[in-house]
Chains A and B, each alone.
Chain A
Amino acid sequence: MTKNNQTTTHVGDGALLECSGIERRFGGIVAVTGVDFVIRPGEIFGLVGPNGSGKTTLTNAITGFYPPNEGTVRLAGKDIAGTAPHKVAKLGIARTFQNLALFNGMSVLDNILLGRHIYMKPGVLRTALYWWAAQREEIENREIVEEVIEFLQLESIRHELVDGLPIGLKKRVELARALVAEPKMLILDEPMAGMNQEEKGYMARFILDARAERGVSVLLIEHHMDVIIGICDRMLALNYGEMIASGLPRDVVNDPRVIETYIGGAHG
């Protein structure tokens, strides 16, 4: 009970992200249809569903990779459906990817610095005249990046190439890269896939701290139900691209349709 009070204090009123009637088709296949949900400021919102149920398609619809064929996506009241992905970042949405999307051949630091791209003005002349035109901007952004590096405890690996890091650290670097963009809305696509129990615990703690200290709202896609129940304020379950349940985690996981989807129905 105390835990619930603690988590709900962060959640404000109104809607930060509001999706209504979202439908996305690929040819004749309807990947997502009729999805409505609202994420409040400061909320951690869970999204679950079996493989192929449309979770990632839904995030791709929000972030502009596959604009929805129907429906609206509102961020703080502004319709953003169909906005190109590189513009979505400037509106205050950051995301991580299910299959890690770090840039190989670059150090951890450079990867995270890329998260600050929307606040920087890279140019050829500025690069050539680094000492006069770019150094100050680089250092200012480096300071913000270092705060997040400290927050996510990545100090010891900041100069290492990302190529060889273990997956748990890679996921953390990707979270850092998303956080330095100072987003209002953070979309995490399976941040704990492939992690052991300890790494999962760390990641869950980082997500809670990010919300508490940085005030982000989180849309969290996960298969680990213990994590979803443990840290989400509300959640949504998808199956075959349709909503089957939404609301408080304990209600959703006890919903007969969710149980049927995950465990199978009683036949006969």
Chain B
Amino acid sequence: MFYRLSGVHYDSFASDSRIFKVPADRNLAVFFLLFGLAAPFIIPSLYLNSYMLPWLLWTAAALGLNLVTGWAGQLHLGYAAVMAVGAYSAVHAVRFGVPWEFALLIGGLASSVIGSLFAFAALRVKGLYLALTTLAMQFVMDWVLNHSPTISGGSHASLQSPTFALLGQEITSDVGYYYVGFGWCVLVTILMLNLKRTGLGRALVAVREKDFAAAILGVNSFYYKILAFATSSFIAGVSGALLVATFFFLAAPEQFSVGVSIQVLAMVIVGGLSSIIGSYFGVALILLAPGLVNGLVVAASGGLGMQVTDETLAHIPNAIYGALIVIILLIEPLGLGKLYGNVRDYLMVWPFDQLRK
């Protein structure tokens, strides 16, 4: 009901191409931005650090994968490997004496270079073959991390991350970490929002939909695929480095294993391909639902006075969480973002829903 298009008029092309055309969308965005800024004063420190921070950082990472998989349409199964490159390069750079600002940039660029070098080879094939090739990249990276002590400290080892600092200011508090993650997530989100209304975004979608038609319009599909890989790898690298610097505090190969790659892909798909708000929802579901479901199951079994063995208790949340993903994708194959879009479209014309197209 508060979503309304009526009464919204444009008198210039600039206002017609604004990001949020519905006033309610704009107000919601401003509200969540302010909420994000005020969160440390509202949300207890424990939740801020164990839920909000990882949510924002993984959302930034998922948006990067969404760029290459959702927008450019290239299936990527080695995303965690690219994050690992960024994380390890940044941590090594800092240990070498480089300030964190530059280390993050180095991490992003290293990921970008390795990601696009790999894409150069991988993009000779399409579709499932590309997916398998990116999976190979993941395994190569796993192997390198486990077999080169100079990078990872050897198998089963971990690399301590030096104290995080920005602009000469050491950041050690939960609030500080939160704002760093929040800032990065906002930056990535702005890039993605602008992608929806610029030539780059259109070119990527053109490459995804029909590459021959894109070609005759002058879009060099190989170039744009590489550009998509390079950009998404940069986002992955910085996100990986920030995860290590503000959340894990140490880098270990398991943090960037093949399982993590699949998990990020699940976040993007459950959230909805090429949906920005969907990535936020998808990450929330994949990252936070297991914990929530676990808490609910424990509370329910306790409340009902049932005797549930620890083993069962460990498996029930996983089963529910898996079922949740299947149910969501059955209801709306385009993911949570589309589900939200449906509700929004309905409310846009409510109570005159017979006007809906």
Contact = CB atoms under 8 A, between A and B. Distances in A.
Given A115-B217, A138-B17, A181-B218, A127 B195 contact: yes
B191 to A, nearest CB: 4
Given A95-B216, A110-B205, A134-B199, 10 more contacts: A65-B212, A110-B202, A114-B217, A114-B219, A124-B200, A124-B231, A127-B191, A134-B198, A139-B12, A143-B13
B209 A134 contact: no
A86 B205 contact: no
Given A114-B203, A117-B203, A138 B219 contact: no
18 contacts: A63-B216, A84-B215, A85-B215, A86-B217, A86-B221, A88-B216, A97-B213, A103-B213, A105-B205, A105-B209, A114-B214, A121-B199, A124-B191, A124-B231, A127-B194, A127-B201, A130-B194, A146-B13
A127 B227 CA distance: 13
Contact of B218 (A90, A105, A126, A127): A90
B220 interface: yes
Contacts of B216: 63, 85-86, 88-89, 94-95, 101
Main secondary structure on B side of the interface with A: helix
A90 B220 CA distance: 11
Contacts of B203: 114, 117, 122
The 3 A-B pairs at the shortest CB distance, nearest first, are namely A101-B213, A89-B218, A122-B199
A115 B199 CA distance: 10
A95 B12 CA distance: 31
B190 interface: yes
B200 A117 contact: no
Interface in A110-165: 110, 113-118, 120-124, 126-128, 130, 134-135, 137-139, 142-143, 146
Interface of A: 63, 65, 84-90, 94-95, 97, 101-106, 110, 113-118, 120-124, 126-128, 130, 134-135, 137-139, 142-143, 146, 177, 181
A191 B206 CA distance: 21
A130 B196 CA distance: 11
Contacts of A181: 217-218
B126 interface: no
B202 A113 contact: yes
B26 interface: no
Nearest to A181: B217
